[in-house]
Amino acid sequence: MRITFFGPPGSGKGTQADRISSYFGLQHISTGMLFREEINSGSELGKRIREIVESGHLVGDEIANEEVFTRIETIDEFLLDGYPRNLQQAKSLDEFLESACKPLSGAVFIHISDEEVIDRLTGRLVCACSNGSGNADSGNIHEEGDICPVCGEAFEKRSDDRSEVVENRLQHYHGITKYLEDYYKSRILVIDGLGTIDQVNERIRKELLRWA
């Protein structure tokens, strides 16, 4: 099985991608992870990626494609998290996989409303060892400034989780994702992202068993 996950900010896509990849034995490939590895390597490409990220821009298609294709060319089954981000990347991915005779099985779209996105992200607190584990959704209710019992760092609100930033992120997301939804129309699974992590995970697993 070869799938890609996408969904709006705060949809729980990363958490579900990690769980689903473990359940089905897929290689979980996150573009964020790939970029961090490249940056930490100190390579010339890593330096370029660092400059792009620190300037607040998105990594371009050429670099993103190169990073992903290099990683998946020797892997038969995988889950892509954070890629493709736009229509051109989606087309390039299909061309690459079809040339390798291992086409994409399909895309999983975790859907939540804009109102839910704003509620989740503006209420999210993170620490050094978490990615939102201070959320009420996780069962751990904290206040800003509370100390995490695991890493000893204070919970705080991410700068990109402020309400005005979240709204801008949503506008950007919708401007891109509507094309991906249309592109993957015949091979997309739309999953309701409301509910607990376990409930959403069960929905995804049930649907994906058709592709396993």
Q: What is the pTM of this model?
A: 0.77
Tell me the C-alpha distance between 196 and 137, whole Å: 7
End-to-end alpha-carbon separation of the chain, Å? 6
* Per-position pLDDT tens, the chain of length 212: 999 999 888 888 989 999 999 999 999 998 888 888 888 888 888 888 888 877 767 788 988 998 899 999 999 999 999 899 899 999 999 999 999 999 999 999 999 998 888 888 777 666 756 544 444 344 455 566 677 777 777 776 665 566 777 777 788 788 877 889 899 999 999 999 999 999 999 999 999 998 87
Tell me the C-alpha distance between 77 and 56, whole Å: 32
Q: Name the 3-class secondary structure at 156.
A: strand
Whether residue 153 contacts residue 144, with contact meaning beta carbons closer than 8 Å, is answered with no
The structural domains of the chain, ordered by start, are: 2-112+163-208 (3.40.50.300)
| Residues 69-98: b if buried by 16+ CB within 10 A, e if exposed | eebbeeeebbbbbbbbbbeebbebbeebbe
